[in-house]
Amino acid sequence: MSSGGIEDDIPQSERKTVTDFCYLLDKSKQLFNGLRDLPQYGQKQWQSYFGRTFDVYTKLWKFQQQHRQVLDNRYGLKRWQIGEIASKIGQLYYHYYLRTSETSYLNEALSFYSAIRQRSYYSQVSKEDRPELVVKKLRYYARFIVVCLLLNKMDLVKDLVKELSDEIEDYTHRFNTEDQVEWNLVLQEVAAFIEADPVMVLNDDNTIAIISNRLAEGGGPLLEQGMIVGQLILADALIIGNCNNQVKFSELTVDMFRMLQALEREPMNLASQMNKPGLQEPAEKPAKRENPHKYLLYKPTFSQLFTFLAASFKELPANSVLLIYLSATGVFPTGPYDFGGVLTNSNRDIINGDALHKRGQSHKEMHCLHPGDLYPFTRKPMFVIVDSSNSVAYKNFTNLFGQPLVCLLSPTVYPKALQDQSQRGSLFTLFLNNPLMAFLFVSGLSSMRKGLWDKCQEYLRKIIRDITQLITHSRSIDQAFLQFFGDEFLRLLLTRFIFCSATMRLHKNFRETRNYPETYPQLPRDETVENQILQKQILELASVLDVRHIFLENTIEEY
């Protein structure tokens, strides 16, 4: 019999089972498709709709489990259809993670995606002469890879990429479709994305060191007892990416990918297990610390960016901070009263900073975000990170409303030896995400003994702890820094920034550019990035790694 048909001689109870299943299936598809119409910004409108969608999928998943035999015999339920339901549930959890920034839902998505693979739900798709079914399978693999990348499961990612490659090869061999080039591009993008991260090979057993870049419980630098800092909480973050030619996958550039992890805590398992998926209601989210909510904006137009900014600003709770991270090509000044800014969107990807600079005053970039564009939103506490060839434009920020405001600014030029790495992500953002790997990268190291690796991790933790004290003990630091220092994420970013800046100031290669990270308002350099105790610690770390020769001999040299 054909799938979905109901014969006249079917018993009434089985007929009802098939009818109920068809109703749940149609309802689930209707609700799932409706998710596309929900606005991406704003935190209130979508929750009830997601709740209804989860409810229907919970019923559908349990229903097909309880009535599998009847559905197999009377409905002709195929394994790929079960896989499609499981895949939609995985997508729901992934999108719930994007909406809430609760990393635990990534584990739930992983649970369902893993079950599809372990139970070979899509294995029979290749036997059917339907290219659209194969595309469903390919999309499932692409989504599975994104979740595994976000959970740092690199061994599994490599296995999935190999399987996806085989599936694409089979697909393009069997069907002469127009999307062959697109799928091969997906493979190239994910391969480049994996290659982008620097790795550390542990010589003991030739394995690659895995380090999480998320905040572990109690993993951030702790404040001394009785230390007075602000009580602001990081609530919202806009993560914006538009760097020319930078590696990206699924509308996530390497820089965006690194920054979003720097603003998350380690995920916790909710209820499901890898081999036994079951829906965990989002309403049952465990009572625990929140991650800041994030908007991930890949090449947003100015109007899109402004819409998200306004929505985030509107819903920002009292005593909370809005973080704006800009990883984008620089737009340079075109006149005496113009500082330029960063380009958030351009359909002409071949344009580079030099070309923009040469255009002159006759043409202004519509999608350039100038410092002044953010002024209206500084009515509430704001923390800005600019990773760009024109980051210095944001040195000219003006705090009009007296609210806490800090800008962390990347170098605008890197040493020649490091410039060809820009496609693999910015060194500045790597320091904010994974300071030890960044330090090892500028030191030219890619392998070491495991004992030395562990020693370096502990040494860096001590340096970060000491930087915390440098900031809180400073007598001349701007109060804005201390206002943000009570939040774990912002404290970690500030301490990593100072480690980054101090390292670059001591590194011989950076002497050729004399271009270092800066801040608005300015940090007291002698008490932070040029503090002699901090310099001594960084040089000791270099000595431990036997790379002391690539750093300056005289730590109190004039800058």
3 state SS for 189-202: HHHHHHHHCCCCEE
Enclosing H/E stretch for 326: strand 320-331
Residue type, 308: F
Q: What is the DSSP annotation of 212-242?
A: --SBPTT-SPPPPTT------EEEEEEEEEE
What's the rounded Cα separation, in Å, for the pair 65 and 55? 16
Q: What is the pLDDT of residue 221?
A: 74
Q: Does the structural domain 12-201 have CATH classification 1.20.190?
A: yes
Structure-token pair, residue 160: 């999935």
Rounded-to-10 torsion of CA 50, 56, 61, 65: 160
Q: Are strands 320-331 and 341-343 parallel, antiparallel or unpaired?
A: antiparallel
Q: What is the pLDDT of residue 206?
A: 81
Q: 234-267+290-346+365-550 — its CATH code?
A: 3.40.50
Q: Which stretches within 35-153 are classed as H helix?
A: 47-66, 68-70, 79-100, 104-118, 131-150
Domain extent listing, the chain: 12-201, 234-267+290-346+365-550
- Which whole-number Å values give the CA distances from 328 to 325, 375, 388, in the listed order? 10, 19, 5
Q: What is the DSSP annotation of 284-310?
A: G--S-PPPPEEEEEES--HHHHHHHHH
Residues near 494 by beta carbon (within 8 Å), at least 6 away in sequence:
406, 408, 471, 481, 484, 485
Decide if 49 contacts 303 (C-beta within 8 A): no
Structure-token pair, residue 404: 């806490």
Please count the other Cβ atoms lying within 10 Å of the Cβ belonging to residue 443: 18
Q: What is the pLDDT of residue 263?
A: 96
Residues near 326 by beta carbon (within 8 Å), at least 6 away in sequence:
240, 342, 344, 369, 384, 385, 386, 387, 388
Decide if 394 contacts 407 (C-beta within 8 A): yes
List b or e across 369-393, with b for residues whose CB sees 16 or more CB atoms inside 10 angstroms.
Answer: bbbeebeebbebbbbbbbbbbbbbb
Q: What is the pLDDT of residue 348?
A: 54
pLDDT, tens digit only, all 559 positions of the chain: 444 455 556 688 888 998 999 999 999 999 999 988 888 887 667 888 899 999 999 999 999 999 899 888 888 889 999 999 999 999 999 999 998 899 999 999 999 999 999 999 998 887 787 888 999 999 999 999 999 999 999 899 999 999 999 999 988 888 877 788 899 999 999 999 999 988 888 887 788 887 778 887 666 677 776 677 788 999 999 999 998 888 999 889 999 999 999 999 988 765 543 333 345 555 444 444 589 999 999 999 999 999 999 999 999 999 999 999 999 998 988 877 788 899 999 765 434 444 444 444 446 788 999 999 999 999 999 999 999 999 999 998 889 999 999 999 999 999 988 766 768 899 999 999 999 999 999 999 999 999 999 999 999 999 999 999 999 989 999 999 999 999 999 999 999 999 999 999 999 999 888 899 999 999 999 999 999 999 999 999 999 999 999 998 765 544 4
